[in-house]
Amino acid sequence: MAYLFLFCAVLIEGPIATLAAAALAAQSPDLKVVYVFAAAGLGNLTADLCWYLLGSLSKHEKVLVCLPWLRYQKGLVKRATLEIRRRGLRVFILTKLGFGIGSIPLLIAAGMLHVNRKHWFIAAVCTEIVWTGALLLVGMFAGNNFRRIVTALFENAILFGTSAIIIIAAFMLYKNITAASHRTPQ
């Protein structure tokens, strides 16, 4: 049941759910890492497939009506379309491995262009293995070292806070001095 919940959580919000599940797997003997990896990978792959099919089964204007937040991504989808035409699946692989920042517009664009499903699926599986594995390693490291990380953050919070305030004050002072020197006397 926990793995089904993980699958659904990753389907909705991939990286954060994967990191959290890996941290829990590091702490809990009930969660097996292999099953966490499988559930997270399948959840990410299913989400990618849904975005690809959304682009594949509809025109871009229809997608914009269904998902209003995507209207702001229109430029990214057009740019992704051009990049896919120019560079093919390399763009998809690099985007997915580069923390997946623009992967949703790219997946919709790939669907709209009807990129070969077999090639796309192979690329998606390969990138999911690497991406999910990397997230699991980071999450497990954080889970194993959680107490040490929190202790270090609290011990150094005063130092970090004071340093941040000094840097911000210095920046504001510098900005005021340079702005005053650029003003012309009247």
Q: Quick: pLDDT tens for 127-157.
A: 888 888 888 888 888 877 777 777 777 777 7
* pLDDT tens, position by position, 166-185: 999 998 888 888 877 766 56
Torsion sign across C-alpha atoms 114, 116, 121, 126: negative
Per-residue pLDDT, averaged over 20-43, amounts to: 84
pLDDT at 184: 57
CB 106 within 8 A of CB 80: yes
Q: What does the alpha-carbon distance between residue 137 and residue 13 come to, in Å, rounded to a whole number? A: 18
**Per-residue model confidence (pLDDT) at position 73:** 67
Confirm whether pTM is higher than 0.85. Answer: no
Give the span between the Cα atoms of 142 and 112, in whole angstroms: 39
In whole angstroms, what is the distance from residue 122 CA to residue 136 CA? 21
Which residues are CB-neighbours of 77 under 8 A, at least 6 positions away? 60, 70, 105, 108, 109, 112
Say if residue 71's pLDDT is above 70. no
Contact (CB, 8 A) for 142 and 23: yes
End-to-end CA distance of the chain: 74
Mind listing the pLDDT tens digit for each residue in 97-116? Answer: 776 667 777 787 778 777 88
30-52: average pLDDT: 87
Helices marked H in the chain: 2-12, 14-27, 33-57, 60-66, 74-87, 89-97, 103-112, 117-144, 146-182
